[in-house]
């Protein structure tokens, strides 16, 4: 069984007072093959403090994006080496909010993933369709195109995580049906196996569309759902840990 990953994305939320959430989560989660891996991706301003707070526990911390470049005259950008030095072990790349709000292309995402790997970070590569694309019956075509472009140059299957995030189900309260999730996750699995062979079957595929304590018991058991990329529900320790416990019960 693939070890599940329960990952939180705080987005543009979090001040020093919110380190208490890090303390509460890190005090509860466990390591070992019978427990899911846990991760909180916090704003860059909190990363060092979050890493220090979680030090010695099973909770990992990560960044929310990175540049494909190592350094330079790029005001406001943050590089993968900077994230790693601050204590990150993961970084989200290609989140829909970066693709739509900042114009990041598949090629850009592939460059970010490569930069993350070079710095020892595990990239969580996000893919997903808009509501218009789903209604047009183009979901799988869009997912395949994003996978091909975003994985360009990545030759080792065990070095990254994929997150499926239907754009129409992020922050809207809408959630894809288990049938829709199974279809897309199964398609991603087949794509990875076709591209990487047997190692493609071990790549974790997360669901990232408004996962919360109420729907986690229904979604996490879906075939090829190897965990979740959680937005709003990761901001409260009780909600995040509820999802963690649901995943933990499935891990045994």
For the CA atoms of 9, 15, 18, 23, the dihedral, rounded to the nearest 10 degrees, stands at: 80
Instruction: Write the DSSP symbol of residue 4.
Output: P
Token pair 């509820």: residue = 242
Q: Smallest Cα–Cα separation from 22: which of 181, 193, 204, 236?
A: 236
Reply yes or no on whether 165 is catalytic: yes
Phi first, then psi: what are they for 81, rounded to 5°?
-60, -35
Catalytic residue among 104, 108, 129, 165: 165
Phi first, then psi: what are they for 155, rounded to 5°?
-100, -10
C-alpha to C-alpha distance for 232 and 239, rounded to whole angstroms: 9
C-alpha to C-alpha distance for 84 and 81, rounded to whole angstroms: 5
Residue 173, H or E segment: none
Catalytic residue among 95, 97, 108, 129: 95
How far out from the chain centre does Cα 205 lie?
9
Structure tokens at 243: 């999802």
- Angle between helix 19-28 and helix 47-54 axes, rounded to 10 deg: 30
From the number of C-beta atoms within 10 Å of its C-beta (0-12, 13-18, 19+), residue 150 rates as buried
Reply yes or no on whether 95 is catalytic: yes
User: Catalytic amino acids?
Assistant: 95, 165
């Amino acid at each position: 069984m693939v070890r599940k990953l329960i990952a939180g994305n705080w987005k543009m939320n979090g001040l020093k007072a919110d380190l208490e959430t890090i303390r509460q989560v890190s005090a509860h989660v466990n390591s070992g093959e019978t427990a899911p891996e846990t991760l909180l991706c916090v704003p860059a301003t909190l990363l060092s403090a979050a890493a220090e707070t979680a030090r010695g526990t099973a909770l990992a911390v990560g960044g929310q994006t990175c540049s494909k470049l190592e350094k330079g005259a790029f005001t406001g950008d943050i590089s993968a080496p900077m994230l790693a030095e601050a204590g990150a072990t993961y970084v989200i790349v290609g989140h829909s909010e970066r693709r739509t709000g900042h114009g990041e292309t598949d090629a850009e995402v592939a460059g970010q993933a490569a930069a993350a790997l070079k710095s020892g970070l595990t990239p969580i590569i996000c893919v997903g369709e808009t509501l218009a694309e789903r209604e047009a019956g183009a979901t799988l075509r869009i997912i395949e195109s994003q996978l091909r472009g975003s994985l360009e140059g990545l030759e080792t299957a065990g070095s990254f995580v994929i997150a499926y995030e239907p754009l129409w189900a992020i922050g809207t309260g809408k959630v894809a049906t288990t049938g829709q999730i199974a279809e897309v996750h199964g398609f991603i699995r087949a794509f990875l196996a076709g591209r990487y062979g047997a190692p493609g079957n071990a790549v974790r595929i997360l669901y990232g569309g408004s996962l919360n304590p109420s729907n986690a018991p229904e979604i996490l058991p879906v075939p090829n759902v190897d965990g979740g990329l959680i937005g709003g529900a990761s901001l409260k320790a009780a909600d995040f840990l509820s999802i963690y416990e649901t995943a933990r019960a499935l891990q045994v």
